[in-house]
Structure 1
Amino acid sequence: MKANRKTYLIISGGVFVSAFIIYYYIKARRFVREKIRVPEPSSNSHLEELKSPLEEQKLSNPNPLDKFEEFQILMSEGISEGWDIVKDNPDLKVYKKITEFSPVAIIKAKILVNDTTPDDALFAIWNGEFRREWDNVLQDFKVIEKYSENNDVIYFYAASPFPSIISNREFIQHRKYKKDQNGILIVYWSAERDDIPIPQGWIRANTIISGYYIKSVEGGVELYFISQNDVKGKIPPNLINAVAPTKAMDWSRKFRRACALLKKKRLG
């Protein structure tokens, strides 16, 4: 009798725990659906007039835009052209936008970094050895093909915090930069490389566009940051879109520390 009662209690406890887990799983799913909802592009005809210059160009021109040109258009767009404000501080502004071309949000940030130069900011971003020191998101960062000093193909992967649940994401990107009298523009986009196999269980992400624009301002630099990465797999785009702006904020903090570290190294 005691054994049967003990078995009954164990089964009852297991059922209770299972029900508790299921209840809170459903509750969490509802919270995500309600709180992290990304607006879908509207199909209303009267809103078509509100398309940004970039969207108009993509719709009217079947040929892809040069990535430098695409970045500059995105950088120059204002709030009225579909950008939502995520953060608005004097030294950090973050915006998010979804277009009809992809469910993946475009993230744009404007960062002020004191006491550094455009060339040092470029070095912190471009130099692989130094980038590995401060940007732990880029695992196994390396140049796999070099065309010139300012044009190459790079590889890195982003390690999953829960590899048994979420796969590692690897990236293969074209990378170019150019300088002019106004500043330095760096752009990235995915490179098709069938000769590089994808590790078993990993997923190769797609960088639609990413990059930085660096210009000198009084006391430091102003940096524009744009990122649109499709991580693919089964992670819902609305969840990625909700998390992406916080990653831009994290990156800006690390970048400021990197510029300070570089200055310290330069001074010896």
Structure 2
Amino acid sequence: MRLYYVQVWTQTTANSNFKMVKVHSVFHNVLPEIMFDVLHDPEYRKEWDEHMIASIEIGYLNPNNDVGYYSLACPTPVKNRDFVLQRSWLDLGNEKFILNHSVEHRNYPPRKGFVRGLSILTGFIIRPADSGCFLGYISQTDPRGKLPPWLVNKISQKFAPKVVKQLHTAAQGYQSWKASRPDPNQKPWIYPEQTLQSPRVHISEVSSRPLAFIVLRMAKICCK
């Protein structure tokens, strides 16, 4: 049995020249709760995300919404990109959602040496499947700058399966890595009381679209 399979689609939308990419995957040897942890854990991301330059927790809006800064390296001569993102998540048992979109935060304006990218919508849904989990993933991102949309669309379609492969590999080592940490039970995405240890972000500090809009759009597009 193959350990995982991947299907990829693209879709043109009315609000952008950049296509939405949709990926469906099944990991036969990764439990849903492990994949949920891998997608959330900011410290572990440093271990598997080869493109990441920095990931900064700005703070929490509430136990299911946070705001963060993320920057990534791009190949020369393309300038590096960075994002300020509001992330939202919900664990319904048999379905787990993680969503993000770009926001503005007054303490994180555009930085010199980076192009501020725009995540129109990025999301994951995780379900139990075949002794493992189903992972649905969508992404529609405008990298901004001078990159032509046709090139971005081409790269995105090829890059999405690579992300899935990275996640599958990362999931294999997560439990042993987490067990070796000084704080193996530090999982604020599961234990909301742990968010009290982090800075609090007031909604007035960010500009954002309503969360309901994102959840409904995610359910309509990603989960089919």
C-alpha RMSD over aligned residues: 1.7
Is residue 8–residue 24 contact of structure 2 (8 Å, CA) maintained in 1? yes
**1:243 deviation in Å?**
0.5
Q: Which amino acid aligns with 2:12?
A: I
Which residue of 113, 117, 133 maps to 1:221? 133
CA distance in 1, matches of 2:157, 2:113: 27
Q: 1:245 aligns with which of 138, 142, 157?
A: 157
Structure 1 stretches lacking a partner, 5+ long:
1-89
| Separation (CA, whole Å) in 2 of partners of 1:116 and 1:148 | 29
Superposed CA deviations along residues 103-150 of structure 1, whole A, max 9, x for unmatched, are 001000011112222111111010100111111223211211212343
State the Cα deviation string for residues 17-65 of structure 1 (Å, max 9, x = none): xxxxxxxxxxxxxxxxxxxxxxxxxxxxxxxxxxxxxxxxxxxxxxxxx
Which of 161, 164, 172 does residue 84 from structure 2 map onto? 172
**Matched length:** 177
Please state which structure has a larger fraction of its residues in strand: 2
Q: 1:183 aligns with which of 95, 100, 105?
A: 95
Q: Distance in 1 between matches of 2:178 and 2:85?
A: 29
Which residue is equivalent to 2:52?
A: 138
Secondary structure of 2:106's aligned partner: coil
What corresponds to 2:115 in structure 1? Answer: 203
Does 2:11 align with 1:97? yes
- Aligned counterpart in structure 2 of residue 121 of structure 1, from 26, 31, 35: 35
**How far 1:217 sits from its partner (Å)?**
1.1
Aligned partner of 2:160: which letter? A
Instruction: Tell me the equivalent position of 1:107.
Output: 21
Contact in 2 for aligned 1:104/1:237 (Cα 8 Å): yes
Quote how far apart the aligned CAs of 1:267 are.
Answer: 7.8
Distance 1:151 1:171, change over 3 A: same
* Structure of higher CA gyration radius: 1
Aligned pairs for 1:48-87 (under 5 A) are none
> Does structure 2 conserve the Cα–Cα contact (< 8 Å) formed by 1:137 and 1:158?
yes
Select the residue among 62, 73, 82 that pairs with 1:159: 73
Residues 116 and 263 in structure 1, CA contact (< 8 A), matched pair in contact too: no
Q: In structure 2, how many angstroms separate the alpha carbons of the residues matched to 1:218 and 1:266?
A: 25
Contact 2:6–2:25 under 8 Å retained in 1: yes
**Segments of 4+ moved more than 3 angstroms:** 263-268
Using the size of structure 2 for normalisation, the TM-score is 0.74
213-222 vs 145-154, which moves further: 145-154
Please state how far the C-alpha of 1:96 moved relative to its aligned partner. Answer: 0.4
Amino acid at match of 1:130: Y
User: Which deviations, in whole Å up to 9, do the C-alpha atoms of 1:245-264 show, x marking residues without a partner?
Assistant: 11111111110001111144
Q: Name the CA distance, whole Å, in 2 between partners of 1:212 and 1:112.
A: 13
Distance (Å, rounded) in 1 between the aligned partners of 2:60 and 2:91: 18
What's 2:183 paired with?
A: none
Q: Is the Cα–Cα contact under 8 Å of residues 117 and 144 in structure 2 kept in the other structure?
A: yes
Q: Match for residue 4 of structure 1?
A: none
Identity %: 26
CA–CA distance in 2 between the matches of 1:91 and 1:116?
Answer: 13
Unaligned runs of 5+ in 2: 181-224
Report the CA distance shift for 1:234/1:220 in structure 2 as closer, same or farther (over 3 A). Answer: same
Q: 1:103 to 1:116 in 2, by over 3 A?
A: same
Contact kept, 8 Å, 2:84 with 2:108, in 1: the verdict is: no
1:265 offset after TM fit, Å? 3.9
Code of the aligned partner of 2:152: I
1:194 matches 2:106: yes
